[in-house]
Amino acid sequence: MNNPHKMRTGIDRVLHAFVYSMHGLRAAVRFESAFRQEAALAVVLLPAAFWLGRSWIEVALLAGSVLLVMIVELLNSAIEAVVDRVSLDLHELAKRAKDYGSAAVLMSLLWCGGIWATVAWQRWLA
């Protein structure tokens, strides 16, 4: 059995993928408060990355770390949605999957904070 969505090719496939991605971003903003908070922070931090970074490498690290947090949050939200779709019953594997996703978000936040602290240290205190 062929999936009709997998039959798309070329620009048609690209356009549909883009539309689906926009639907995902819209849903994340609408339903995920953590994503909204991170997006609001990104509105401040992404321009600040160009001000704080002294080289393109520093700007890329600063901006990339912020975008990484948002990417990991989207993946975590996807995991949570799939787990909840399967069952809302409490189950050890469901808890573990959600905890892994949450830990990934925490690690991305720590990575982001570490990069920002390091660049700020180099700029003002070193």
**Domain-by-domain residue ranges, the chain?**
1-31, 33-124
Asked if residues 76 and 119 have their Cβ atoms less than 8 Å apart, the reply is: no
Using pLDDT thresholds of 50, 70 and 90, give the confidence band for residue 7. confident
Q: Does domain 33-124 have CATH number 3.30.2010.10?
A: no
Using pLDDT thresholds of 50, 70 and 90, give the confidence band for residue 6. confident
Active-site residue 92, yes or no? no
Q: In degrees to the nearest 10, what's the CA dihedral of 68, 74, 78, 84?
A: 120
Mean pLDDT of 1-18: 85
d(CA 42, CA 111): 15
- Residue 81's pLDDT is 97
Task: Give the active site residue among 32, 38, 73, 92.
Answer: 73
- Residue 8's pLDDT is 86
- Residue 106's pLDDT is 98
Q: pLDDT over 90 for what percent of the chain?
A: 91
- Residue 1's pLDDT is 58
For residue 113, give both structure tokens.
């904070």
- Residue 26's pLDDT is 98
Q: Is the pLDDT of residue 3 over 90?
A: no
Secondary structure (3-state) at 69: helix
Q: Is the pLDDT of residue 4 over 90?
A: no
Asked if residues 109 and 41 have their Cβ atoms less than 8 Å apart, the reply is: no
**pLDDT by residue (tens digit) across 43-101?**
999 999 999 999 999 999 999 999 999 999 999 999 999 999 999 999 999 999 999 99
Asked if residues 102 and 71 have their Cβ atoms less than 8 Å apart, the reply is: no
Sign of the dihedral defined by the CA atoms of residues 21, 22, 23, 25, in that order: positive
User: What letter would DSSP give residue 91?
Assistant: -
d(CA 87, CA 3): 25
* Side-chain-facing half-sphere of 59: CA atoms under 13 Å: 8
For the whole model, what pTM was predicted? Answer: 0.91
